[in-house]
């Protein structure tokens, strides 16, 4: 009996060591990552169909990724990841001062006459917001320096689905007048007639024509630090380059305008309207460098 008691106490004494060994040898195959990402500099690569345009874009996103360690050897490992996120882009677009004219149809005249409508445009300024539901799919290679610290690189693809775009602000300053060739080029600039004269225009002809789907690649480098138990924090630098345009591209450069594509147009029914400036983008592809911060739970 005394030998049984001896063995029991011996086993109890060894339990902490056995538990510690099991903890050290515990295999962590999965990880859940909550990530916040903010771009540095411009978020879009842009090109314009109209001279005098400018724009800037910034973006941030939040997402949750699920990782599965598919290969591990000594200090090296490869992890497959899939995630779900929300990307939000803020875009400011402007069109500098310009003069233009177009043939105004009868519905742009109080007396149902056709004429030539002239504009002295002082400038257009707009601010837009674009929201994408994203699905990143990437592989992550890690090199373990010690039990708390590791370096990693990631490479993969990112899919985006447009879930909303909105014009937050739009305004244009103009002076307009009409010339009627059928009346010996009669010129009228009276404000009571077809909203001629000086005006501030804030209404838009249409919403920005955003594409419903985006696709691109992503790459990154970073470092992970084990804070406590299964919890780690990660800081990484990333680049995302889309292969598709955010907005439907303008196919050709515009040198002259008509009643459908001029910066500001007029009709009796709707009054003066300013075009959504993304209509003049020839290229609007996501191209951004970002800093990403993640909290990771391993299990």
Give the pLDDT score at 15: 39
Give the pLDDT score at 181: 98
Considering the entire predicted model, what is its pTM?
Answer: 0.86
Give the pLDDT score at 136: 98
The mean pLDDT value for 164-182 works out to: 96
Contact 225, 149 (CB under 8 A): yes
Distance CA 49, CA 74 (A): 55
Three-class SS of residue 256? coil
Closest Cα to residue 126, out of 201, 15, 68?
201
Give the pLDDT score at 21: 41
Tokens of 20: 């510690």
Residue 101 has pLDDT above 80, yes or no: yes
The fold for domain 29-298 equals: Porin (2.40.160)
Give me the chain's average pLDDT, please. Answer: 92
Contact 32, 296 (CB under 8 A): yes
Give the pLDDT score at 206: 80
Cβ of 70: how many Cβ atoms within 10 Å? Answer: 11
Distance CA 114, CA 142 (A): 69
Contact 44, 31 (CB under 8 A): no
How do residues 233-288 score in pLDDT, each as one tens digit? 999 999 999 999 999 999 999 999 999 999 999 999 999 999 999 999 999 999 99
Contact 198, 264 (CB under 8 A): no
Give the pLDDT score at 14: 46
Using alpha carbons, list the distances in angstroms from residue 239 to 30, 77, 223, 274: 25, 22, 16, 35
Give the pLDDT score at 26: 63
**121 Rama sector, left if φ>0, alpha if ψ -120 to 50, beta otherwise:** beta
Give the pLDDT score at 207: 84
- The H or E element spanning position 138 is strand 115-144
CA atoms within 13 A on the CB side of 15: 6
How do residues 103-161 score in pLDDT, each as one tens digit? 999 999 999 999 999 999 999 999 999 999 999 999 999 999 999 999 999 999 999 99
């Amino acid at each position: 009996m005394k030998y049984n008691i001896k063995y029991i106490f011996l086993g109890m004494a060894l339990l902490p060591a056995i538990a510690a060994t099991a903890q050290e040898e515990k295999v962590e195959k999965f990880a859940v990552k909550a990530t916040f990402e903010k771009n540095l500099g411009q978020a879009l690569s842009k090109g314009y169909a109209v001279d005098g345009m400018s724009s800037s874009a910034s973006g941030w996103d939040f997402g949750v990724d699920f990782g599965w360690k598919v290969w591990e050897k000594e200090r090296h490992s490869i992890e497959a990841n899939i995630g779900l996120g929300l990307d939000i882009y803020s875009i400011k677009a402007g069109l500098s001062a310009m003069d233009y004219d177009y043939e105004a149809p009868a519905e742009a005249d109080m007396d149902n006459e056709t004429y030539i409508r002239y504009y002295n445009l002082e400038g257009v300024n707009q601010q837009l917001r674009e929201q994408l539901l994203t699905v990143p799919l990437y592989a992550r290679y890690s090199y373990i320096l010690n039990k708390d610290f590791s370096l990693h690189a990631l490479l993969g693809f990112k899919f985006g689905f447009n879930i909303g775009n909105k014009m937050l602000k739009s305004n244009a300053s103009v002076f307009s007048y009409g010339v009627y060739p059928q009346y010996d080029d009669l010129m009228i600039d009276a404000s009571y007639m077809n909203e001629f004269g000086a005006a501030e225009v804030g209404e838009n002809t249409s919403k920005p024509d955003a594409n419903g789907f985006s696709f691109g690649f992503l790459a990154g480098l970073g470092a992970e630090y084990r804070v406590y138990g299964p919890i780690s924090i990660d800081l990484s630098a990333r680049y995302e380059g889309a292969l598709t345009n955010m907005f439907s591209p303008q196919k050709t450069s515009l040198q002259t305008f008509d009643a459908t594509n001029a910066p500001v147009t007029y009709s009796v029914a709707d009054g003066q309207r300013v075009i959504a400036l993304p209509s003049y983008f020839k290229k609007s592809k996501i191209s951004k460098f970002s800093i990403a911060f993640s909290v990771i739970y391993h299990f």
